[in-house]
Structures are given as C-alpha cells and as structure tokens.
Chains A and B, each alone.
Chain A
C-alpha cells in the first residue's frame, strides 16, 4: 500500500522536476535560443582570427579551387587523393619558363618557379571528393586549396554549390582551348 502511493509520488515529482527545467529554458528564451534561421542567418565560418599563422594551415573544408596559372603539373595532388577524384593531363613544354599566349600558358608561377609542363586537363569531381584536405598539403605552389577561410583573399568561400545534374559537379580548371592548338605542342605521347 505504501509502495503504491510512493510510486505515484515519485512519478509525479520526477516529471515535475523535468518540466521545471524546460519551463526555465522557455522563460529565458531570448538569451538561450540556439536556433539559427538559415539561410538568413548563417553560423560564421572560421574567417575570424583563429590565432596562428594561417599561411601554413588550411582550416577550412569547402569546395576545392585551383589557380591554374600557378600549377606546375607535378601531379602530387592527384597521387595523394584517396578517391582519385582529380585528373590531370600534362605535356612537356618546349622551353622551360616560356609564355605561350595562344594556349594561355604562363611560363612563371607567382612564386617565381619556371614551369616545364603544360597542363592541358585538370578536372576535379566534387561529387567524389571526400573533403579530406590531403591534396592541399603537398602542393609546392599552394595553388590547390579549399575556398574561403584563410584563403578568402584568394577566393571567397563557397560551400553551397549544388547543381541539378551530377556531371555539372565536375569542375574543369584547365584553360579551355581547342585541341588543335594544344596538339601543336604535344610531344610523343599524350593520353
């Protein structure tokens, strides 16, 4: 008999204790509200000062972007990608460091390195990309990076890049020139 009433008392008191917590939160709704009205309000991305030398690290994961004028065609990013979503085709240039304006090839990168290879195809399939950031570290010219964050001065942030067709998510970064113009510079073997 005692147990019966005790059960009722414990049940009601524990429920009331829980409800008092939610009541307190509801009263303080102005201060404690954590809901963001997306897309009008967005959570700030780490463009703020994180506090260390941002030149050596890339603490952002968003869409990949390539400054194709800086790419020397070393293929390091292609080899390190775990899902093989980067495809690069390069050809040997006749002279190292020479500008070839008819196909848009600049001979010297912004860091002063002379380019020995012409990059004729640089495709990244963003639907395959797993955003692991592994391709960013080995690049000697820092020309492949994830947009925004510490790289906002190079490219504004872009993480909402949805398309209607999956094939539109293949981003082509190489200069868009005709095959005949490229074939002038093709040496023995090209894929």
Chain B
C-alpha cells in the first residue's frame, strides 16, 4: 500500500492504553486514517536491572531476572542459570535437566496462551481470552504446588533447582496435557479459522525475512516469516537435542508469508509441540538429587560469556563478565521483545489505525523485558 504524505496529524497512543501490553507509548503520524510513521517510545518501566545486578551476588540476581519477563519467568531463570553454568563449567544432574525442560515448556505454553488470548482481545474477540486464561490458570496451579508461587518463581537456581518435584506432580501434568490438547482444537474453531479474525489479521503487517534478520527479530516472529531458526535445534543447550519435535514456520496459508496470521498460527502450533516435548520428558524422567550440584559459593572464574536460549518471545541471551568475585561485574540481558518492538515502525507504514494495534499484538511484547 502506498504512503501518502498529505498534512500529517500526530496522534499519541499514550502509556495508559489497554491494548499496548504494558506501558508503551506510540507516537503515530497519520494522514487521515492511514499511518505514515509509528515511533515507539519506551522507558516507562525502566528499573535499571543491570545496575542492580552489579550490587548483589549471583544467586540473588535470580529474583531480579524473574521480573524482567514476568510472563515467562522460568525461561528467564533458565537462561541465566545456563549461562553461569557454562562460565563455571558445572555439570548438572540428569534429573535437573529434565525438570528444567518440563517447567520451561509448561511456561512456554502459559506464555503463548496469554499472548494469543490478549491478541484476540485486541482485535475484539472476548471469549477466547477467557477460555485461554482458564487453561493458563491450571498451569499456574501446577506451578503453585511445585514452588509456591504463581508467576515469579525463583525456581531454577545456578547448579540445580530450589525444590524437587512433589509426589503426584507427574500425574497432574499428564492429566493436564490430556485435558489441554483437545482445547487447542477448540481454540482453532473459535478464533483461528474465524472469518472475521482472518480478515483482521491476514495480509496485514507483512515482515519480510531479510528485514527481520537485519532487525534481529527472533523466535515466533521470525518463524512466521518463513525462516526456520530455533535455538533449541540450531544451537542446543541443556538436553533439547534428545527430544523429537518440529519447528513450525509460517507458510502464508491465509495470506502472505509473514503476516500477522502466520505469527499467530506459529504460536498456536508451538503449543502442541511443547506438549509433545513435555510428554517425552515426563516419560524419561530419571531419579536423582536436585541439590547435588548446587555450589556452596558462586564465584565464577574471570572471563566473559554470551549464551543464547529460546524464550517464548525469541532469543534471550545473557552477556556476563565476571572478575572473580561473588558479585557480577557486568550483566547484560539481550531481550527478544526489544528487537521485536523496533520493527514496528517499519512494518506498520501504510496500514490503518486499527491495524497498528493488530500488528502490535502479533509481535507479542512484554514491556518488562524491553525496559528491564
């Protein structure tokens, strides 16, 4: 669609808005209804997490990392623990690896449920939002029996876990998965193949793959554009290479490759794949002691490390520089939603006002991770 530069009007979608997924401000220049420029302004949730981490010890950083991406908090902890373990060359027991993958994938399902539910809410569908939240509640109840907290877990520690599994956790997860997998069919009937939803999201906000790579977009946003890139397969960490699962990519089923519907559909199929991984991990769960490899005092050797993991939003990486003391010297968190939001200005030119909200919802951002 062409961009018309008539007399532009500047509109402000303020930090308080139900559709901006957090405190995000969008400065929009429109010509009538058609957008000519979108500039996201962030920083309303900036708590300078990196400076805090330079004043506390390595194990005290973990509650801070929880709060960056508060929706997929297990994956944040996981990324941090994996990075420090690579720096200190700690080998964790098998049981710890399996449990970490189970909880990380459960959290991935919960995060995708929230992303898709609120996306439906943004474009006007209220029912799927409540249904997806009902199922998300069951996952949060599982986590509550595991470590007591529903949203900010502080569960995956450097070298192990904080608690072992409760006795009937494995059966509860199996029964949850048996309940959940038919629900995905229900969501497909309710929302995915609904004609109104398709009209709202197909062919809108097309993200070409070269633009995506240049902007550093990763995760389901990149896979929706047709690039088969997943850190779990291409640069595996922990024991992801032992499981058998597919990587869904967008194929332009309802419109062009890389539109909003593709990104939505990739997340929907990823939930099924995560359920597959959890089933395999539960079947093969070995016995063992989860506290065995917890170091008494975390003092990494001098050096720096950059390690990437796959969070539900993309490629979450930590760059940690240690100077031999128990306090990190420099800790940088590379958040995937930061790069996803930066591409908003590029792909929303020429669309209309309500399409901007649809595109923003399909990028699945969490402001806690962007602002840190």
Please determine if A and B sit in direct contact within the complex, based on CB atoms under 8 angstroms apart.
yes
A interface residues with partner B (beta carbon < 8 Å): 7, 10-11, 14-15, 17-18, 21-22, 34, 46, 50-52, 57-61, 80-82, 130-134, 137, 146, 149
Q: Which residues of A contact B67 (CB under 8 A)?
A: 130
Q: Which residue of A lies closest to B134 (CB)?
A: A34
Partner among A22, A34, A149 whose Cβ is within 8 Å of the Cβ of B127: A22
User: Interface range on chain B: under 10, 10 to 19, 20 to 34, or 35 or more?
Assistant: 20 to 34
- Known A-B contacts A14-B193, A34-B134; the reply to A59 vs B145 at CB < 8 A is yes
Asked if residues A61 and B149 are in contact (CB atoms below 8 Å), the reply is yes
Q: Which residues of A contact B13 (CB under 8 A)?
A: none
- Known A-B contacts A14-B193, A18-B194, A21-B189; the reply to A59 vs B147 at CB < 8 A is yes
B interface residues with partner A (beta carbon < 8 Å): 56, 59-64, 66-67, 127, 134, 137, 144-149, 152, 154, 162-164, 166-168, 186, 189-191, 193-196
Partner among B56, B60, B64, B144 whose Cβ is within 8 Å of the Cβ of A46: B144
Asked if residues B60 and A34 are in contact (CB atoms below 8 Å), the reply is no
Q: Which residue of B lies closest to A9 (CB)?
A: B195
**Majority SS of interface residues in chain A?**
loop
Partner among B56, B137, B144, B167 whose Cβ is within 8 Å of the Cβ of A34: B137
Q: Which residue of A lies closest to B52 (CB)?
A: A82
Give the distance to chain B from A151, nearest Cβ to Cβ, in Å: 11
Asked if residues A131 and B195 are in contact (CB atoms below 8 Å), the reply is no
Asked if residues B63 and A61 are in contact (CB atoms below 8 Å), the reply is no
Q: Which residue of A lies closest to B194 (CB)?
A: A14
What separation, in Å, do the CA atoms of A132 and B60 have in the docked complex? Answer: 9
- 22 intermolecular pairs with C-beta atoms under 8 Å apart: A7-B195, A15-B196, A18-B127, A18-B189, A18-B194, A21-B186, A22-B127, A50-B167, A52-B164, A52-B166, A60-B148, A61-B148, A80-B59, A82-B60, A130-B67, A131-B149, A131-B152, A132-B66, A133-B148, A133-B162, A134-B154, A149-B148
Q: Which residues of A contact B190 (CB under 8 A)?
A: 18, 21-22
Task: Name the 7 nearest CB pairs between A and B, nearest first.
Answer: A51-B167, A11-B195, A132-B63, A82-B60, A59-B148, A61-B148, A132-B154
Give the distance to chain A from B200, nearest Cβ to Cβ, in Å: 12
Partner among B66, B152, B163, B167 whose Cβ is within 8 Å of the Cβ of A59: B163
What separation, in Å, do the CA atoms of A132 and B155 have in the docked complex? Answer: 9
Asked if residues B154 and A59 are in contact (CB atoms below 8 Å), the reply is no
Q: Which residues of B contact A15 (CB under 8 A)?
A: 194-196
Asked if residues B194 and A50 are in contact (CB atoms below 8 Å), the reply is no
Q: Which residues of A contact B149 (CB under 8 A)?
A: 61, 131, 133
What separation, in Å, do the CA atoms of A59 and B166 have in the docked complex? Answer: 10
What separation, in Å, do the CA atoms of A15 and B163 have in the docked complex? Answer: 46
Q: Which residue of A lies closest to B56 (CB)?
A: A82
